[in-house]
């Protein structure tokens, strides 16, 4: 979650998280100062904004929370037709969560109301990303249809919608055409440059009446004409991996590997790391190596954590040479928590949120400036700053770190044992060590001495 505020940030942030938590049935109310940071360079305001003061920005991530059906329902209610009509009829929770990947997002930003830009409107954009596992459901075949995936077909557009389209990526691979076919025939074909690559899309416009002429419903199907060998997947230009190395419960090391697979272009990447306070980072151990040599970041911003108040924040601008792997390591020590601070399942481990990589990637082919008016969807989904590069933001995987955990089942035993040991052993040993033993006397003499002390007479 990230948000840019007008002044009185912290109060507004708290209100916002609680409101959002209510709207989306999500545990966003767990956001507090211990997991919120103020990044300086990784995020920029979207849409109309005149202030670029980074102090007004807040960013947080709750790696423990996962998206589930109860978050989908309120999300669907924000749509103009709910899930009653239009594309949203496809969103059946049972199918959406029977998939490999699921992500839903809500973006709000101020935009101009009209061309003259005298008044401000708010734009609400909702995105839902689902990856279906065709391998799992169709025995290795890669054909699909809307019905197969969603167990629903499209019947009409939402009456409130001004535009309602289905895009199917039919870009030819390796210059071979006609490998696949889509049925029914698309209403039009759209060509666009997406993330530095030329793509062809078949477009089904639900608002055009010709679609529903022949049959009542639209069931887009894609068939491969001959079986594909899928052994070559294109590797993305920028990807990253993060893990915890080392073993034992005292120290450890967070490693981030950033891959630049571009054959000849180097580019800078902005890395944002937030680490909870109970991992005590040793900043002097921060090393960045590329191809065996040290790589000095051109910009670095570090805010140390404060126990129980604020997480670590580390922002770096790193130059990635062409076709290289950059390894960033930083060592940490695991803190001992107070026993009430442990989560109910302490042996599961504690999460460290994903780090954020923001980069302007050089594109493979020259892009022409896409006309915003012509295809608003593509420019907002795949923004590009100019013709030669496009913007990418990556989130690495969250980490699971084990902290030293007491055995919660036996605090009573521990208290009893410790008290007994202290009382019995320490007392008697102290006694034995500090006393001088003299022959005779014993109990009688001691008693006599006590009595004499009461009487105010010097002891024997």
Partner 1 sequence: MGLLSDPQCRRALARLVVRLNTPLCALSYAAGLAWFLALAAPPLAPRTQMSENAMGSTMVEENFQLGARALAYARQFGARKAAAGAMPVTWLEQTLWALGLEPHRQPFARTLPFPDEARERYMVRGTNVYGILRAPRAAGTEALVLSAPCSEGPRNDQAVGLLLALAEFFRGQIYWAKDIIFLVNEHDLLGMEAWLEAYHDVNVTAVRSSGPLGRAGAIQAAVALELSSDVVTSLDVAVEGLNGQLPNLDLLNLFHAFCQKNGLLCTIQGKLPRGDGDSLPAYGQSLRTLLLMALAQASGRPRGDHGLFLRYRVEALTLRGVNSFRQHKYDMTAVGRTLEGMFRKLNNLLERLHQSYFFYLLPSLSRFVSIGLYMPAFGFLLLVLILKALDLWMKLNKGDAGERLEDGGEDPRPGLLALVPPVLICHGAGLALYFVPVLAQRAAAQHFPVSEAEGVVLTAVAIYVAGMALPHSTHRALAGAGERGWMALKLLALLDLALLLGCLALLNFSLGFLLAALMVPGAAAVQPTGPRVLQAAVLVLATPAGAVLLGVLAQRELEEAPAAAGEGWPLFLGAVGEGLLQHHLYGAVLCPVLALGAYPAWLLLWNVLFWK
Residues that bind partner 1 (CB under 8 A): 63, 66, 97-102, 133, 135-136, 140, 231, 241, 243-248, 253, 255, 257, 325, 345-349, 351, 354, 397-402, 405, 424-425, 427-429, 431-432, 435, 437-439, 442-443
CB of 331 to partner 1, least distance (A): 12
Q: Of 53 and 397, which has the nearer Cβ to partner 1?
A: 397
Nearest by Cα to 48 from 100, 95, 108: 108
Considering the complex, state which of residue 116 and residue 247 has its C-beta at the smaller distance from partner 1.
Answer: 247
Q: Considering beta carbons, is residue 102 or 190 the nearer one to partner 1?
A: 102
Output 14 or 239, the one with its CB closest to partner 1.
239
Phi-psi category of residue 196: left, alpha or beta, with phi > 0 → left and psi -120 to 50 → alpha: left
Q: Say which residues have a Cβ less than 8 Å from residue 344's Cβ, sequence separation at least 6.
A: none
Handedness of CA 147, 152, 156, 161 (dihedral sign): negative
Closest CA to 259 of 235, 278, 277: 235
3-state secondary structure of 44: coil
Q: In angstroms, what is the minimal distance from the CB of 198 to partner 1?
A: 28
**112 versus 244: smaller Cβ distance to partner 1:** 244
Q: How far is the CB of 136 from partner 1 (least distance, A)?
A: 6
Task: Report the nearest approach of partner 1 to the CB of residue 327 (Å).
Answer: 8
Quick one: which of 192, 172, 102 has its CA closest to 390? Answer: 192
- How far is it, in rounded angstroms, from Cα 237 to Cα 267? 11
Q: 201 in helix, strand or coil?
A: strand
Cβ 265 to partner 1 shortest distance, Å: 21
Residue 257 or 364 with smaller CB distance to partner 1: 257
In 3-state terms, what secondary structure has residue 65?
A: coil
**Contact criterion met (CB below 8 Å) for 318 and 258:** yes
Question: Shortest distance, CB of residue 385 to partner 1, whole angstroms?
Answer: 29
Q: How far is the CB of 133 from partner 1 (least distance, A)?
A: 7
Nearer to partner 1, 105 or 400 (CB): 400
Nearer of residues 150 and 351 to partner 1, judged by Cβ: 351
Q: Which of 287, 162, 146, 140 is nearest to 227 (CA)?
A: 140
Helix (H, G, I), strand (E, B) or coil at 213: helix
Rounded Cα gap, residues 83 and 73, in angstroms: 9
Between 66 and 119, CB nearer to partner 1: 66
- Residue 269, class by beta-carbon neighbours within 10 Å (0-12 exposed, 13-18 middle, 19+ buried)? buried
Q: What's the half-sphere exposure (Cβ side, CA atoms, 13 Å) at 18?
A: 7
The HSE-up count of residue 9 (CA atoms within 13 Å, CB side) is 16
Please check whether residue 296 is in contact with residue 287, taking contact to mean a CB–CB distance below 8 angstroms. no
Residue with tokens 């036996």: 410
Comparing CB distances to partner 1, the nearer of 344 and 456 is 344
CB-CB contact of 344 with 70 (8 Å): no
Q: How far is CA 354 from the centre of its chain?
A: 5
Tell me how far apart the alpha carbons of residues 397 and 406 are, in angstroms, rounded to a whole number: 28
* Closest CB 135 distance from partner 1, rounded Å: 4
Task: State which residue, 116 or 438, has the beta carbon closest to partner 1.
Answer: 438
As measured in angstroms, the least distance from the Cβ of 107 to partner 1 is: 22
CB of 100 to partner 1, least distance (A): 5
Rounded Cα distance between 266 and 289, Å, is 15
Backbone angles phi, psi at 401, to 5 degrees: -120, 130
Please report how close the Cβ of residue 427 comes to partner 1 at its closest, in angstroms: 8
d(CA 141, CA 148) in angstroms, rounded, equals 13
């Amino acid at each position: 979650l990230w948000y840019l505020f007008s002044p009185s940030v912290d109060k507004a942030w708290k209100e916002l998280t609680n409101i959002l938590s209510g709207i989306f049935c999500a545990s966003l109310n767990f956001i507090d100062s211990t997991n919120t940071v103020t990044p300086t360079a990784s995020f920029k305001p979207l849409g109309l904004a005149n202030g670029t003061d980074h102090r007004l920005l807040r960013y947080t991530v709750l790696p423990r929370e996962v998206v589930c059906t109860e978050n989908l329902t309120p999300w669907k209610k924000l749509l103009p037709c709910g899930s009653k009509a239009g594309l949203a009829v496809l969103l059946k929770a049972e199918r959406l969560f029977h998939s490999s990947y699921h992500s839903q997002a809500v973006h709000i930003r101020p935009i101009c109301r009209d061309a003259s830009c005298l008044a401000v409107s708010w734009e609400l954009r909702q995105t839902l990303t689902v990856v279906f596992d065709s391998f799992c459901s169709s025995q290795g075949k890669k054909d699909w249809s809307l019905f197969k995936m969603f167990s629903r077909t499209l019947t009409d557009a939402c009456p409130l919608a001004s535009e309602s389209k289905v895009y199917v990526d039919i870009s030819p691979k390796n210059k071979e055409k006609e490998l696949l076919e889509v049925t029914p025939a698309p209403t039009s074909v759209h060509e666009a440059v997406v993330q530095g690559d030329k793509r062809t899309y078949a477009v089904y416009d639900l608002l055009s009446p010709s679609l529903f002429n022949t049959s009542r419903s639209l069931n887009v199907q894609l068939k491969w004409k001959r079986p594909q060998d899928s052994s070559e997947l294109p590797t993305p230009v920028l990807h990253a991996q993060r893990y915890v190395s080392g073993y034992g419960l005292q120290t450890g090391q967070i490693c981030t590997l950033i891959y630049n697979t571009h054959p000849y272009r180097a580019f800078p990447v902005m890395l944002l790391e937030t680490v909870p306070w109970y991992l005590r980072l040793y900043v002097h151990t921060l090393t960045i190596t590329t191809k065996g040599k040290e790589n000095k970041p051109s910009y670095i911003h570090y805010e140390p954590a404060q126990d129980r108040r604020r997480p670590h924040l580390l922002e770096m601008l790193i130059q990635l040479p062409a076709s290289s792997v950059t390894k960033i390591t930083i060592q940490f020590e695991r803190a001992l928590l107070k026993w009430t601070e442990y989560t109910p399942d302490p042996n599961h481990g504690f999460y460290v949120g994903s780090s954020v990589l923001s980069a302007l990637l050089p594109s493979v082919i020259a892009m022409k400036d896409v006309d915003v008016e012509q295809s608003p969807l593509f420019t907002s989904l795949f923004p590009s700053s100019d013709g030669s590069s496009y913007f990418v933001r990556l989130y690495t995987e969250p980490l699971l770190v084990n902290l030293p955990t007491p055995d919660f089942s036996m605090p009573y035993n521990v208290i009893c044992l410790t008290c007994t040991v202290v009382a019995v052993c320490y007392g008697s040993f102290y006694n034995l060590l500090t006393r001088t033993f003299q022959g005779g006397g014993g109990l009688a003499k001691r008693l006599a001495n006590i009595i004499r002390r009461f009487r105010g007479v010097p002891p024997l």
